[in-house]
């Protein structure tokens, strides 16, 4: 679906490149589809990237897309890569799969699962509208800091303990 959305961008005359990080059982099928769609020369298949190199890869990107699709026994639970990208100020786009909309927290960068036209529309806007891209970058960074930073998560955990009464165990001394 991301490949088809990317092809729509190419047909609209946008000069872009697609980086695929990671690997999986569908990689060969995706590479074949990219060739069939005539966009293979615009795609870099980077495969598995060591965790320490992910920030370096993100620094090369204008936007990160998480186009997850639900399966009968699976939905995206969190999408850690979204929080990582947002923390770096990288605009993110995601599908309606699982918790993605909640993690991102903005409806204007969410597209219905499998809808390549909606994804292409959002991608095009991010790539051509520098002001919106900056707004998304700032929003994502602020959201990541307030919701997903270690400090924010520690504060939320403390609140859970306090709310459940587990925060300050009382001790009794018996003689």
pLDDT tens for each residue of 95-104:
999 999 999 9
**Does the residue 74 lie in any domain?**
yes
Q: What is the mean pLDDT of the chain?
A: 91
Is 94 inside any structural domain?
yes
What pLDDT shows up at residue 175? Answer: 52
pLDDT in tens, 165-174: 765 555 555 5
Domain that holds residue 88: 2-164
Would the CA dihedral through 51, 86, 142, 166 be positive or negative? negative
Residue 174 in any domain: the answer is no
Residue 110 domain flag = yes
Summarised one tens digit per residue, pLDDT across range 43-55 is 999 999 998 999 9
In this prediction, residue 154 carries a pLDDT of 78
How much is the average pLDDT of 116-139?
98
What is residue 173's predicted lDDT score, i.e. its pLDDT? 54
Q: Can you give the pLDDT at residue 23? A: 86
Q: Is the torsion defined by CA of 96, 102, 104, 107 positive or negative?
A: positive
What's the total number of domains in the chain? 1
CATH code of residue 147: 3.40.50.2000
Helix 27-37 and helix 2-11, axial crossing angle in degrees, nearest 10: 20
The residue count of the chain comes to 175
Domain membership flag for residue 71: yes
Q: What is the mean pLDDT of residues 2-26?
A: 95
Crossing angle of the two packed helices 130-147 and 80-87, in degrees rounded to 10:
110
pLDDT over 60 (residue 12): yes
In a domain, 175, yes or no: no
Q: Is residue 49 part of a domain?
A: yes
Count the neighbouring beta carbons within 10 Å of the beta carbon of residue 103. Answer: 23
Q: How confident is the model at residue 72 (pLDDT cuts 50, 70, 90)?
A: very high
Question: pLDDT confidence of 90, banded at 50, 70, 90?
Answer: very high
Outline where DSSP puts E strands in the chain. 18-21, 43-47, 64-66, 92-95, 110-111
Percentage of the chain modeled with pLDDT above 70: 94
So what's the pLDDT on residue 170?
A: 54
Q: Do the domain assignments include residue 170?
A: no
């Amino acid at each position: 679906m991301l490949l088809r959305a990317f092809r729509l961008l190419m047909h609209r005359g946008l000069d872009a490149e697609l980086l695929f990080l990671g690997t999986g059982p569908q990689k060969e099928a995706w590479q074949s589809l990219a060739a069939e769609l005539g966009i293979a020369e615009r795609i870099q298949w980077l495969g598995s990237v060591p965790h320490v190199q992910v920030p370096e890869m993100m620094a090369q990107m204008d936007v990160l897309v998480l186009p997850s699709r639900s399966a009968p026994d699976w939905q995206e639970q969190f999408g850690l890569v979204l929080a990582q990208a947002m923390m770096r100020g990288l605009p993110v786009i995601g599908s309606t799969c699982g918790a993605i909309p909640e993690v991102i927290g903005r409806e204007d960068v969410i597209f219905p699962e499998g809808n390549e036209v909606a994804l292409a529309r959002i991608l095009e806007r991010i790539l051509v509208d520098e002001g919106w891209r900056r707004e998304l970058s700032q929003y994502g960074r602020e959201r990541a800091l307030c919701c997903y930073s270690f400090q924010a998560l520690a504060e939320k955990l403390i609140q859970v303990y306090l709310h459940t009464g587990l925060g300050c165990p009382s001790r009794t001394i018996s003689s």
